[in-house]
Amino acid sequence: MAADRSVFDLNDLTHWSEVGTGVSPVARLAVIGDPVAHSKSPQMHNPGLAAAERNASYIRVHVPPGKVSEALGLFGSNGFWGVNVTIPHKFEALAAVDFVDPLAAKLGAVNTVAFRANGLHGYNTDGPGFLKAVGESFGREVKDLSVLILGAGGGAGRAVAVQCALEGCPHLYLANRTQAKVDELAEELERLGAQTAVNVVTWSDDALLGVLPKVDLIVNGSPVGMKEGDPALLPVAGLRGDQLFFDMAYRADGGVTSLGQSAALVSARYTDGAALLLHQGALSYEHWFGEAAPIEAMRAGLSAAIGRPV
């Protein structure tokens, strides 16, 4: 891929017949977000494409809010096969596609788009990818765990909350800076008829101290922790060494997120969003191509990009 263009934009897509000639192999897949420069998806997907002997590359494209539908139209007209969607565009993508996979409809967000002859097909691999990452990282199943999700009102956090309820986890605690979003989510989970006991928690130290003793798995669905110096998400006094810590965010520099730093204080097991990125990416590949992903090549590429094993 052209070394001097790590991120493209809407203007580039508009003039792709000229701009795209600088990308080799030809770009057929992309990730969109705002921001998107930090994404390690290209370093993960490009080795997978090479291992599968697909003459194509995967790029980053910066898309501002409100422009997702326009961007998807440009990708389609420029011969792209598929797109991954990251913060903050997963709700916009849900509204922009022509066909929504039933699971994506339940999860309420789209993070994977496939371009097909009859239109745009939207999927969500965050929820299923989360289940696979928890199983691989901790050797546990979500259905057996009581779960606290911080940032449950966002696209990825919401998807994981619904996935946990669909799995039938015994207790689900939802916290979000904007409580109205999780109040609405709790009502939706009740309409789904899930057997999970759902509780909305105020995101404050006092409220969290009241529920942490009941929690087995703590999930961060917010972007807090992606940068050095981000604040702690939880009161350390409520944490235990036998709890599991899963951060959906990851540090692009390979460092430990603030949730991971909290886990280390009580010697608890922790994994970050690199594990989720790998498994949701592999599932995206399966939606695009209808075959098993070259996941070990993808794992090796992602590990090299962040400087540690995934």
Give, rounded to a whole angstrom, the gap between the first and last alpha carbons of the chain: 24
Angle at alpha carbon of residue 127, lines to 123 and 133, rounded to 5°: 125
Please choose, from the candidates 130, 193, 214, the residue with its C-alpha nearest in 3D space to the C-alpha of residue 164. Answer: 130
Query: Which residues have C-beta within 8 Å of that of residue 94, sequence separation ≥ 6?
Result: 100, 104, 108, 109, 110, 122
8 Å CB contact between 128 and 120: no
8 Å CB contact between 114 and 289: no
Alpha helical stretches, state H, the chain: 10-14, 16-19, 41-51, 68-77, 90-96, 102-107, 126-138, 155-167, 179-192, 205-211, 258-265, 273-289, 295-306
State the catalytic residue, choosing from 90, 143, 214, 227.
Answer: 90
User: Residue holding tokens 């992309």?
Assistant: 30
CA–CA gap between residue 119 and residue 286 (Å, rounded): 18
> Is the bond preceding residue 35 a cis peptide, omega within 30 degrees?
yes
Query: Which residues have C-beta within 8 Å of that of residue 238, sequence separation ≥ 6?
Result: 208, 209, 212, 213
Q: For residue 123, how many C-alpha atoms fall within 13 Å in the half-sphere facing its CB? A: 20
CA–CA gap between residue 40 and residue 246 (Å, rounded): 19
Whether 106 is a known active-site residue: answer no
Q: How far is CA 255 from CA 35, 37, 228, 244, in A?
A: 19, 17, 8, 19
Q: Residue 242: how many CB atoms within 10 A of its CB?
A: 9
* Catalytic residue annotation: 90
